[in-house]
A and B are shown apart, each in its own frame.
Chain A
């Protein structure tokens, strides 16, 4: 039984340090991803959010690109081409071929105006201005207002919320009372009052929106801060004698980032909505400037006869709002996978 198995020496191989790395390749493990990479991967899986992101990118590029290349001058008045319906070359469907129904008959409005060779994708308004260029211009103004207002609103909200949550106690109670008082007046009323005081215009709209809509951000950031400040790493930082300001920037802010980003995605469409409402009422952007709200207001006057003048801005506004909402939803799921399960 004591048969000794004789193995030839060359069936063994000596492993030196370099080959050990090769063995690691047999381990089964996914590459470790950072939080941001992980969120990005999840976001890309969410079809709605991914499409929204692309749509928003296109809207931004077109709206801001029209500063450089615009199909027409958005303010160039051309009365002889007034109220032309939309005409897209190559498309024969009624509504996009430059024809409209007048006195029960479908006529080619472009021929009538003596502009058969020209085409306006979204048509022209009552002064003969190219609606497509005006929608691009209006979108740009609306986006600028919304983004700048959101930036201010974010700064105020995050600072206020972090301070309130960090301090706690009596200061926190007072600061929360102040928010409750602000929340007990409808936002739009406050915005209107502020605009009356500051005189209508782009700057005052931005200030008014920023000053009224930070409360939501402040509340969320406060709640999150109160949770985070109990964590051990904050305790460690405090024990080591880190200054509160540095803790705020180095430890709190990065951990608050998902809350901040998600809430920002919902603040922007809100700001766009407020701006559109103000301009629609008639105390927002005043002509010759245009925003999506003023375009809607102009279009609504002629809606019965020239519905396309309101359809286009309404469509663009709704698409932007939709995209921001879907992106916000997607980001929330991406940052917090528990919500989706």
Chain B
């Protein structure tokens, strides 16, 4: 296990290094300069600004400096908000995003498991049909459409929830619902398929033959075994939530990193975009590492072969 873990962590560091390198050089490829009004500035002013942001050094020096900074969590200074370090900007904004993302993930997966399990238990009944319809709709309706509809009907018309503010828990309800719909649908579909498979296996027959109660069979044998493969879709679900958060945070005016990403893209704030790209892939890498380890613990075959299936 220790060797497996060390290998995974080495790959994580390697991946992050490649991501940092790629984003750095991609940003260097970008057309234009970060200056808004280059024509109005004198040569010496431009030189001063370039010096301030370290843009006058050769590219390889800039790269090494950036790399050295990134390791210490320093992503340079934002172009959009002068004198504001990117790391400060992001650390003050990551909280709301994490909260909403985690809430959406937990809500989505738990409700998804329940919906999927009920669908599988009562196969081809109206329960199953409803579960299928819910999951297909959840996958087909984009989160930002759902966000606007929730905001309008539950927020504005019924007045149950605040519309576009950030404060306590009540402010997170609508964004969580909007973001949680896809994880809910995906996990419901996944659990249903897995459980239908498991329910027809021999050990379920055995458990029934032994005279276990229906709930005992479902809970101890069917559900538990259906949930193991669910770990593998947590990574893709995390990507989905990150993608969705960029738009949903905008709709609900949440001061999170998704909203910041869109803002930075629209204002060409390159250091912030780079910092955010690295943060996003760091979070995703951690999620993937975590799910890998978890899967390794639950299913020991993985550790030996190093691969699922």
Contact = CB atoms under 8 A, between A and B. Distances in A.
Interface in A246-282: 269, 273, 276-277, 280-282
B234 to A, nearest CB: 13
B144 A318 contact: no
Given A181-B18, A282-B266, A318-B141, A189 B152 contact: no
Interface of A: 177, 180-181, 183-189, 192-193, 196-197, 199, 269, 273, 276-277, 280-283, 296, 300, 303-304, 307, 310, 314, 317-318, 321-322, 325-326, 339
Contact of B136 (A181, A283, A296, A326): A326
B30 A186 contact: no
B246 interface: yes
B280 A186 contact: yes
Nearest to A322: B140
Contacts of B193: 339
Which secondary structure dominates chain A's binding surface? helix
B140 A321 contact: yes
Contacts of B26: 193, 197
Given A184-B285, A318-B145, A304 B23 contact: no
Contacts of B140: 269, 318, 321-322, 325
Contacts of B111: none
Contacts of A185: 19, 277, 280-281, 284
A283 B280 contact: no
B261 interface: yes
Interface residues of B, number: 43
A153 B243 CA distance: 20
A303 B30 contact: no
Nearest to B277: A189
Nearest to A188: B243
B294 interface: no
A303 B23 contact: no
Given A180-B15, A317-B142, A193 B243 contact: no
B1 interface: no
Given A187-B243, A269-B140, A317-B142, A281 B265 contact: yes
Nearest to A273: B142
Which secondary structure dominates chain B's binding surface? helix
B288 interface: yes
Given A277-B144, A318-B145, A325 B246 contact: no
Contacts of B239: 186-187
By CB atoms of chain B within 10 A, which of A192, A269, A339 has the most?
A192
B58 interface: no
Nearest to B17: A181
Contacts of A318: 137, 140-142, 145
Given A184-B15, A281-B262, A281-B265, A300 B148 contact: yes
A187 B235 CA distance: 13
B280 A193 contact: no
A276 B281 CA distance: 23
Contacts of B251: 300
Nearest to B151: A303
Nearest to B251: A300
B167 interface: no
A185 B276 CA distance: 11
A55 to B, nearest CB: 12
A225 to B, nearest CB: 15
B152 A193 contact: no
Contacts of B268: 196
By CB atoms of chain A within 10 A, which of B137, B139, B144 has the most?
B144
B250 interface: yes
B223 interface: no
Nearest to B18: A181
B249 to A, nearest CB: 11
Nearest to B148: A300
A304 B277 CA distance: 34
Interface string B251-275: 1000000000110011010000100
Contacts of B29: 197
Interface in B201-223: none
Contacts of A196: 30, 265, 268, 273
Interface in B4-25: 11, 15, 18-19, 23
A327 to B, nearest CB: 11
A281 B267 CA distance: 13
